[in-house]
A and B are shown apart, each in its own frame.
Chain A
Amino acid sequence: MSLIASSITKVYGKKTNRFTALKNVSLTIRDGESIAIIGKSGSGKSTLMHVLAALDRPEKGKIEFNGQNVETLKASKLDQLRNRDFGFIFQQFFLSARESVLDNVMLPLKIGGVPLRARKARALKALAEVDLTDKARSKANDLSGGQKQRVCIARALVGDPKVIFADEPTGNLDSENGQRVTDLLFRLNKQKGITLIIVTHDEELAALCDRRLHMKDGILTEERKS
């Protein structure tokens, strides 16, 4: 796995409201790395993640995933790429509250067209990974915040992704649950070799990553782990 961004510029709005979120950002992410993108709100860190995750298209520059130029991919191939190779974790969880935990975890596989039987087996495996097998039949709404985020990790994990993008994964959690989620993410990173790209405010979480990328006003500065 390799993810290379070269001279990315991303602009929002038009004319007077014009706002440059990313200014000539270049970056190479190698297989199995853990990367923290740090910065104040509005610094462009979320935009960088969206562009890297092929959710957003930059105005200038090139994103290459495994040597393939993402810009030239058709919409359906791009959807397939996100579905199969990427996993997503969000601060606000985005679980379907009234559906079961199992249904929530199966969603990416359902979208990917995996048959029901295989879907269930893989989702249960992913739930076992985050230690929530016993909650498979519960409604997502009945879980605690920490459990919800673990369900989200299971959902990100279920498609055997090469990269997991996590947007403030511990942002809504207390320190104990935050620690648990952090441990889980790094265990996946170490054991399965899944590349982690984490957008965070959390200094402790960032400190655990191989590389810390600081975003300020759309400009990237890197700080190596000593």
Chain B
Amino acid sequence: MKMLDVLVSANRNLSRSKLRTFLTISAIFVGAFTLTLTTALGAGAQDYLNRQLGNVSAPGVFYVTTKTGDSPFASDSGPKQYDPKKQERASGRTVSTLSQSDVAALKKVSGVEFAKPYYSLTGEYVVHGDGTKYQSPALVQYGGLSLDLAAGRLLTSNDTNSLILPETFVSSLGFADPQAAVGQTVQVGYKDLAQHIAVRTFTVVGVMKKTFVTNGNMYVDDESANAIATAQGQDEQFFAAIVKFKDPNVDETTLKKRITDTGNYSAVSLKEQIGTLTSIISAVTSGLNVVGGIALFAASFGIINTLLMSVYERTQEIGLMKALGMHRRAVFSLFAFEAVLVGFWGSLLASLAGWAVAQGVDRWASTSFLKDFEGFTLLVVTPLNAVLVIALIMVIAFLAGTLPAIKASRLNPIEALRSE
């Protein structure tokens, strides 16, 4: 028997008992629909995260800090001797800092493209022309993140007096839209060591979208960051350094080891930084996937049940086909195909429905509770995910179909024909 004929026959058999087929498909539909939405939720969150941090595509970049050897909270620790390399934070916690000599040491690590201080500086105000002065966000030295931009471009190491403006400042500073701000100048005021306010003029090279990670930061070029840090006396003590390796293809742990072997440092890759968030998201989505999985598990019993009933009902027909020379394998395929078709139709409809629901939910969410998260699409139904869900469910349906299919293929034609 030709495969195409088996497929056509399977489809025809399904359409013979429409209600039963419909109900079995419905059961699959529920499971597949759940799975489609949970993967869409996971994809949406992951997509947002990737765009917010953008840095999964920045391999070979590490944030380096000193390894804090002695715990500031240890109960047996008495008064500590003053150490100029340790900075007291407002919380009373001592944090070790890095100095230029550390940066020099990091530059010598093999394969390093650049190593530079990662300054996080305090600004006083931002203003455009003669407009209103707004409280300045933290001035952060740009470290190679591929930020989600609304307009303009990212900073390069050749830029001077340039910054990337957060989108929230665009209208406040008097620009019509993000694009209008690009190429314009803004003045940033900051306090120097003598508590005098100095002003530096920057050209806006890019405008970045509002994100929950970089919120409140304004990224400035290396040269400006160095100048301000020097003026504020922070250039000798800073919390972290950025190290970038030349070859991005080298294993991350190898690169990390090179840094930690150099001195008392700990290195965190950008990937690891978002890794925590990613793992939270994947924990939530896999929890939801379990729900979808349970629904599918129940639905697969529906398939077994339906097909077993079908085998009993069609015992004579199967007997006749075997008597007329239908091979066991063909009988097996016939029933297995029916199961796979049920899975296919159920999951295809579920994907389409999931896609439609995602459109609706996203439209609603973007105007309500996700209003402040620009670029966050809650549910993303990607064609790849849809195909994977459909394929997975077809496999599950096939497995569910094997029991009835084996039963059918093993029927003795004479006994089957004799049965009433």
Residues of A within 8 A of B (CB): 50, 53, 55-56, 75-76, 79-84, 88, 90, 94, 96, 98, 107-108, 110-113
Contact = CB atoms under 8 A, between A and B. Distances in A.
Interface in B306-363: 316-317, 319-328, 330
A-B residue pairs, 7 tightest by C-beta: A83-B325, A82-B325, A79-B325, A111-B326, A94-B320, A108-B324, A79-B327
Given A50-B414, A56-B414, A98-B16, A75 B1 contact: no
Interface of B: 1-2, 5, 9, 16, 316-317, 319-328, 330, 413-414, 417
Nearest to A79: B325
Contacts of B2: 110, 113
A79 B413 CA distance: 11
Given A55-B414, A110-B5, A80 B16 contact: no
B327 A82 contact: no
Nearest to B4: A116
A164 B321 CA distance: 16
Contacts of B328: 75
Interface of A is mostly: helix
A113 B1 contact: yes
B413 A111 contact: no
B327 A107 contact: no
B321 A107 contact: yes
Contact of B324 (A75, A82, A96, A113): A82
Interface of B is mostly: helix
Nearest to B325: A83
A56 B326 CA distance: 15
A112 B1 CA distance: 6
B417 A79 contact: no
Given A79-B326, A112-B325, 10 more contacts: A55-B414, A75-B327, A80-B325, A81-B325, A83-B326, A94-B316, A107-B321, A108-B324, A110-B5, A111-B1
A107 B327 CA distance: 13
Contacts of A82: 323-325
Contacts of B316: 94
Which residue, B2, B9, B323, has most C-beta atoms of chain A within 10 A?
A: B323
Contacts of B323: 53, 55, 82, 88
A108 B320 CA distance: 10
Contacts of B16: 98
Nearest to B314: A96
Contacts of B5: 110, 113
Nearest to B316: A94
Contacts of A96: 317
Given A55-B413, A56-B414, A98-B16, A88 B324 contact: yes
A84 B2 CA distance: 16
B2 to A, nearest CB: 5
B327 A76 contact: yes
Nearest to A108: B324
B334 to A, nearest CB: 11
B11 to A, nearest CB: 13
Contact of A90 (B326, B327, B330, B417): B417
B324 A107 contact: yes
A181 B319 CA distance: 24
B6 to A, nearest CB: 9
B313 to A, nearest CB: 12
Contacts of B325: 79-84, 108, 111-112
21 contacts: A55-B414, A79-B325, A79-B327, A83-B324, A83-B325, A83-B326, A84-B325, A88-B323, A88-B324, A90-B417, A94-B316, A94-B319, A94-B320, A107-B321, A108-B325, A110-B1, A110-B5, A111-B321, A111-B324, A112-B1, A113-B1
Contacts of A83: 324-326
A50 B413 CA distance: 10
Nearest to A85: B325
B418 to A, nearest CB: 9
Nearest to A84: B325
Which residue, B9, B317, B325, has most C-beta atoms of chain A within 10 A?
A: B325
A161 to B, nearest CB: 11
Nearest to A88: B323
Contacts of A53: 323
Contacts of A55: 323, 413-414
Which residue, A76, A80, A110, has most C-beta atoms of chain B within 10 A?
A: A110
A96 B316 CA distance: 10
A53 B324 CA distance: 10
Nearest to A114: B2
Contacts of A111: 1, 321, 324-326, 330
A109 B1 CA distance: 9
A73 to B, nearest CB: 12
A45 B383 CA distance: 62
A76 B330 CA distance: 11
Which residue, B320, B321, B322, B328, has most C-beta atoms of chain A within 10 A?
A: B320
A42 to B, nearest CB: 13
B1 to A, nearest CB: 5
A76 B326 CA distance: 9
Contacts of A79: 322, 325-327
